[in-house]
Structure 1
Amino acid sequence: MTTIGIIGIALLVILLLLFFYYVPFMLWINAKVSGVNISLIQLFLMRIRKVPPTKIVTCMIEAHKADIKEVTRDGLEAHYLAGGHIERVVHALVSASKANIDLSFKMATAIDLAGRDVFEAVQMSVNPKVIDTPPVAAVAKDGIQLIAKARVTVRANIKQLVGGAGEETILARVGEGIVSSIGSSESHKSVLENPDSISKLVLRKGLDAGTAFEILSIDIADIDIGKNIGAQLQMDQAQADKNIAQAKAEERRAMAVATEQEMKSRSQEMRAKVIEAEAEVPQAMAEAFRNGNLGIMDYYKMKNIEADTSMRESIAKPEKKDKNNK
């Protein structure tokens, strides 16, 4: 065989592969056998539009066998080009149809494009999901802390999946309801005796409003006793009052010390003035002698008075000491 013949056979094989790639003849036969009406030209155009014909045909066959007439080729192509999961959407439509759940193709594609798993949502509508809340700590009116864990049974709300809040919102609202219920209880003992009172109170609040789920039940799985928050707060308050009282006492002591220092300073100033005045007495007396305002007899009388006063003081001091010793 010549080189030209080998090249010709290779080109023929390549052309056949390209033909069967862009014109999936076997896939068209599979669709026809399954009862799906689709042409080879449409399959060829799907390759041109970069839409996988195998996925489209498989989804159309599944929808046809489940008698879902609203699933069309154009709808599947548009949803695929928009970034959706066509297999998940068709699975969800088939499951919803079998479970008598009202779900349209338009709603299913909207839920899928919103980022939610529409097939899982349909399954959750049939089989409710149980969500365990993290430990929620709350304090009753008697000051005792309780730590509760709850199990929330939810069912997907198909109509609220687009724009509805998720599981995090449900958990947050249930936790808020538990805290409110325990906080309004007069005693922690009443909560321990009737934990179902928490569930009833929380359920009455309609916590599933605006969410993608419907709360079926809230069951308190466990309640533990925590700290005595009331006693701890009283101890902290007493310690704070003690610190305030100590600070005020220290402030008064400092003021007393400052006042005492001030009095000592004033006393020293007064003593200095007295000493200064006593130092001026001899000068004043000499001046009085020179001016004739003070005689010698007046001077002796003054000395006698001073001596008499000094003698009386010396006599009085031993008596004070004896009294102190007694």
Structure 2
Amino acid sequence: MPELDPTAIGAIGLLIPAVVLMIVVLYLVPVPLWIAAWSSGAYVGLLTLVGMRLRRVPPSTIVTARISAVKAGLQGVSVNDLEAHYLAGGNVVRVVNALISADKANIEMPFKRAAAIDLAGRDVLEAVKMSVIPKVINTARIAAVAKDGIQLIAVSRVTVRTNIDRLVGGAGEETIIARVGEGMVSTIGSAATHKDVLENPDHISKNILSRGLDAGTAYEILSIDIADVDVGDNIGAKLQIDQANADKQIAQAKAEERRAMAVALEQEMRARVVEAEAEVPRAMAEAFRQGNLGIMDYYRMKNIQADSSMRESIADGSKNEPTPPGR
């Protein structure tokens, strides 16, 4: 077996570390990105790119966003700002695209505001688009009752656009929908009759717009259009029927209470009569002992009782006797 030349062994020993070093350098120093940034006029230093690698920030994302901003003519968007926004958890590409869209639409939006909106969890690019092209929000079917008791079911379309100044900390679409629904219920409820609402549905939108319902929200209400108004149930009549049934049940309960009291009073009086009748023999015995009642008086009273019983029996028999035919 031929022996290797010591010079070749030394060359191989130097070549392997050189290759490894070149791979590490090419990874830490993204030369293609540096060339692309330099040729686009958005120069980024090599040491800055190396620092991004060490801080685990993807240089391609930052450099691409930087090139887009420079090519769009944006001022004040530095590499440090983009890198800081990425490290804070923001979407660098979306923020830069939003800044470009805002600049083309003549909407003033500095980088700090766009970054704050993005970090707040809102889609800053969609917000800019809504500022240019308003959005239509369809409300649910809102049911309200006019003063005459007729229910009306209305649907409205709310046209809004984003208010960039109130986007951070402002209420969202749910608040707009809730406030519009509240205004519709209030307006319909204050109408004298449901016919007034059907004849002039624009009164609903005018009344709602006059209240300034977009205060404290991230949107500006441009218009409110009533899309549909349907007539529902006669709620007033149903309430009157329910009230009448309730009054009827109350009256029946009171009548039953009075009947029960009358029955109880009758039973009490009968008990008193029985109690009084039980005292009669005792009183008669006492009268005999004191000489206030004689034997003849006693027999005379018995005859009267027997005569009364006979008369009652005859009267009951005549009532129960059937009437002969032909009379």
Same fold by TM-score, threshold 0.5 exceeded? yes
Instruction: Give 2:23's match in structure 1, choosing from 2, 17, 36.
Output: 17
Residue 17 to residue 313, structure 1, CA distance change in 2 (3 Å): same
Assess, with a 3 A threshold, how the Cα gap between structure 1 residues 240 and 318 changes in structure 2: closer, same or farther. closer
Identical-residue share of aligned pairs (%): 57
Q: CA deviation at 1:11?
A: 5.1
Segments of 5+ residues of structure 2 without an aligned counterpart are: none
Residue among 205, 211, 223 paired with 2:211: 205
Question: Are residues 304 and 262 of structure 1, via their aligned partners in 2, closer, same or farther at CA, if it must alter by over 3 Å?
Answer: closer
Judged with a 3 Å threshold, the aligned counterparts in structure 2 of structure 1 residues 317 and 212 are, in CA distance, closer, same or farther, namely closer
- Cα 1:88–1:266 shift into 2, 3 Å: same
Say which is worse superposed, 42-51 or 269-278, in terms of deviation: 269-278
Quote the residue 2:249 is aligned against.
Answer: 243
Give the equivalent residue in structure 1 for 2:136.
130
Is 1:76 equivalent to 2:76 in the alignment? no
Gaps of at least 5 residues in structure 1 are: 289-293
* One-letter amino acid of the counterpart of residue 144, structure 2: A
Amino acid at match of 2:280: V
**1:91 partner amino acid:** N
- Pick from 227, 230, 253 the counterpart of residue 224 of structure 1: 230
Give the structure 2 partner of residue 139 of structure 1.
145
Please report how far the alpha carbon of residue 19 of structure 1 lies from its aligned counterpart in structure 2 after TM superposition. 1.4
Residue matched to 1:291: none
Aligned partner of 2:297 in structure 1 is 302
CA distance in 2, matches of 1:299, 1:280: 12
Question: Could you tell me which amino acid in structure 2 is paired with residue 130 of structure 1?
Answer: V
Aligned length: 315
SS in 1 for 2:39: helix
1:89 and 1:323, CA in 2 relative to 1: closer, same or farther beyond 3 A?
A: same
Secondary structure in 2 matching 1:214: strand
The TM-score normalised by the length of structure 2 is 0.88
TM-score for the superposition, normalised by structure 1: 0.88
The amino acid across from 1:256 in the alignment is: A
How far apart, CA to CA, are the structure 2 residues paired with 1:312 and 1:214? 104
Task: Go from structure 1 to structure 2 and tell me whether the alpha carbon gap of 1:141 and 1:310 turns closer, same or farther (over 3 Å shift).
Answer: closer
CA distance in 2, matches of 1:84, 1:262: 89
Shift of 1:18: 2.1
**Aligned AA for 2:206?**
K
Root mean square deviation, CA, Å = 2.7
Q: How does 1:1-326 map to 2 (within 5 A)?
A: 12-282=18-288, 284=289, 288=291, 299=294, 302=297, 306=301, 309=304, 313=308
In 2 relative to 1, CA 89–266 (structure 1 residues): closer, same or farther, beyond 3 Å?
same
CA distance in 2, matches of 1:311, 1:92: 118
**Could you tell me whether the CA contact under 8 Å between 2:34 and 2:43 is conserved in 1?**
no
Report if aligned partners of 2:117, 2:124 keep a CA contact under 8 Å in 1: yes
Aligned AA (1:126): V
Distance 1:6 1:265 in 2: 131
SS in 2 for 1:224: strand
Alpha-carbon spacing, 1:119–1:7, altered in 2? closer, same or farther (3 Å): farther
Whole-Å separation in 2 of the counterparts to 1:65 and 1:158: 24
Q: What is the one-letter code of the residue matched to 1:229?
A: I
2:110 and 2:213 mapped to 1: Cα distance? 27
- Structure 1 residues 6 and 176: alpha-carbon distance in aligned structure 2, compared to 1, 3 A threshold: farther
Partner Cα distance (1:102, 1:300) in 2:
129
Q: Tell me how far 1:229 sits from its aligned partner.
A: 0.6
